[in-house]
Structures are given as structure tokens and as C-alpha cells.
């Protein structure tokens, strides 16, 4: 009787991607990044529209910046229903053409009147 032959022991080779598979994974990764960026842009646009609608319906007033004031403290003093403090800070920045830097005492800012007070 003949003995069955044993399969020779081979080391398992690591899986290798073909060029086609690598290109597919790269394309899928790029597509995912583009989709996330688009979703972020749409979300930001919707948020800005919501904030503009909520704050735009309020009367505005001009405040004079005092020593120690920040955009955050000014926004906190004027809460608006449905709008976070950070969203209100961004609105004040946009309305006043402010692009960072420190506020200066005596500076005038257009701000919304509070909708809660």
C-alpha cells in the first residue's frame, strides 16, 4: 500500500496588493475624504444660515469695547435664543470685518441685542 504524500510545509506568504487593488483603495480613501469635506461644508453653511436667521431678526446696537473685554465676553452678555456663544462670536466677527487680533478699548462693535433679556 502506498502512503499518502504529505504536503510540504511552506511558509505562508504575506498577502500582497496588486496595483489595481492599491488604486482602488486609494480611490476609496480619496472619495471618503471628499465626502467628509463636503458634509462639513454643507453643515457649516446650514449653521451659518440658521445663525444669520436667528440673529438677523434681532435689532442691533453699537457697543464700545472696554478694557478687558473680549468678543466672547461681549457675546455672552447678549445671549440669543438658539445660538451658541461661539456662533455669536463668529457673527460679531463677520459683521464687523474683524479677523482676529485683540480688541482695543474704545473700539466700536455692532452686536445684536439680546433675545433673552
pLDDT in tens, 60-108: 899 999 999 999 999 999 888 888 898 999 889 988 998 777 899 999 9
Instruction: Check if the beta carbon of residue 65 is closer than 8 Å to that of residue 108.
Output: yes
Alpha carbon distance 53, 114 (integer Å): 14
- Does residue 117 lie within any of the structural domains? no
E-only strand ranges, the chain: 60-64, 108-112
The pTM (predicted TM-score) of the whole model is 0.56
- Find the domain containing 96 and state its range: 19-112
- Does residue 3 lie within any of the structural domains? no
Nearest to 94 by CA among 77, 117, 68, 71: 71
- Does residue 44 lie within any of the structural domains? yes
Residue 12 has a pLDDT of: 75
Domain count, the chain: 1
Amino acid at each position: 500500500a502506498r502512503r499518502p504524500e504529505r504536503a510540504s510545509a511552506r511558509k505562508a506568504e504575506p498577502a500582497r496588493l496588486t496595483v489595481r487593488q492599491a488604486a482602488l483603495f486609494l480611490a476609496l480613501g480619496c472619495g471618503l475624504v471628499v465626502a467628509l469635506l463636503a458634509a462639513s461644508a454643507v453643515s457649516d453653511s446650514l449653521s451659518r444660515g440658521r445663525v444669520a436667521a436667528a440673529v438677523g431678526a434681532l435689532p442691533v446696537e453699537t457697543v464700545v469695547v472696554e478694557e478687558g473685554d473680549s468678543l466672547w465676553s461681549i457675546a455672552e452678555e447678549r445671549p440669543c435664543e438658539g445660538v451658541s456663544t461661539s456662533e455669536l462670536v463668529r457673527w460679531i466677527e463677520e459683521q464687523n470685518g474683524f479677523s482676529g487680533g485683540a480688541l482695543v478699548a474704545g473700539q466700536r462693535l455692532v452686536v445684536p441685542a439680546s433675545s433673552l433679556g
